[in-house]
Amino acid sequence: MTDTPHFPLSAVVGADALKLALCLTAIDPKIGGVLIEGPRGMAKSTLARGLADLLASGQFVTLPLGATEERLVGTLDLDAALGEGRVQFSPGVLAKADGGVLYVDEVNLLPDHLVDLLLDVAASGTNLIERDGISHRHSARFVLIGTMNPEEGELRPQLLDRFGLNVALSGHTAPLERGQIIRRRLDFDSDPQGFCAQWEAQQQQLRERCQHARVALASIPLDDQALAQITERCFAAGVDGLRADLVWLRAARAHAAWRGGEAISEDDIDAVAEFALRHRRRDTPLSASSQNPAPDASAAQPPNPGEGQGQWGEMPAQALPTGARREVPSWPKKP
């Protein structure tokens, strides 16, 4: 536990869809991170910080809105290179985030060229700095979490598409859930160390589950049968390009690892469908009714108003497409 504890992800009320998306991209950072849409005051940074505690390094780095390109990628000292024959590199935000979470609040307000650069590095896991024939390369493997309020401006479609997963939050929260959210926040603010100690067993369960899933990931094949289902549904959704297919397949495999499976199942594919398609889908429905029969109405209601679809100051997350099936993780209850 760090000197300045973060609100534990396991203590977040509801927000199961968002927590699942965060954990999946932690299991496989090649998914490409999570873009969270929603109004202000939704505790998006709280959830992102909680995710950092589930990673080995626990590193959480924020990219400020006013950052320059040098602040992001780092700088090279040309005088040292030319005069002393050595490359002297001053690390930027990307280097500091290696192994942890890189959080970009209001990513839609960043200059497009910085967003593009950021997404390139997130996809490759490597940052290359070149200047006047001198270069330096370093590892930059992190879980990218971006947030945006669509009312303050949209991301260009080309950049939007490059975020792996997308979850939309709503600020309308039921009174019971609002009370739980506020009570836990007050408890945390009054005694952060004590609150985190109270939830440490649940946090450890989440850490171990993510770690086991990361280890198991490579043994789960990206099989042709799962790929065929996904490509058909991407075509039916009318998405442009092929990134949705790849992200969806990777996310389905991460979900299989998350639930302890040995292969990608149809349930895994359904579980992550909306995450992969929401920001890429055109006007065409996700899939035909023959592929996804109408769900049982009773199944659409959360079993517990305080623990089902809500949030921690935020949102019911975006609903899954009609008929989609998802195994919602059993998030720890209050001790």
- Give pLDDT tens digits for 33-85: 899 988 777 778 888 888 888 887 778 999 988 899 999 999 887 766 566 66
pLDDT tens digits, 121-159: 988 899 999 887 788 899 999 988 999 888 888 888 777
Alpha carbons 334 and 158: distance in angstroms, whole number: 41
- In a 13 Å sphere around the CA of 78, the CA atoms on its Cβ side amount to 6
User: Which residues touch 36 (CB under 8 Å, ≥6 apart)?
Assistant: 18, 42, 44, 47, 145, 146, 147, 148, 166, 167, 168, 169
Nearest CA to 6 out of 180, 146, 195 is that of 195
pLDDT digits (tens, 9 = 90+) for 169-186: 876 677 888 899 899 999
| pLDDT score, position 223 | 94
CA angle, residues 137, 155, 162, in degrees to nearest 5: 45
In this prediction, residue 86 carries a pLDDT of 66
- Would residue 40 show up in a list of annotated catalytic residues for this protein? no
55 or 292: which leads in pLDDT = 55
Supply the pLDDT for residue 85: 62
pLDDT score of 325 more than 60: no
Considering 185, 214, 243, 281, which one is annotated as catalytic?
Answer: 243
Q: Residue 46's pLDDT is what?
A: 84
Q: Is the pTM of this model over 0.85?
A: no
Domains contained in the chain, CATH given: 1-290+303-323 (3.40.50.300)
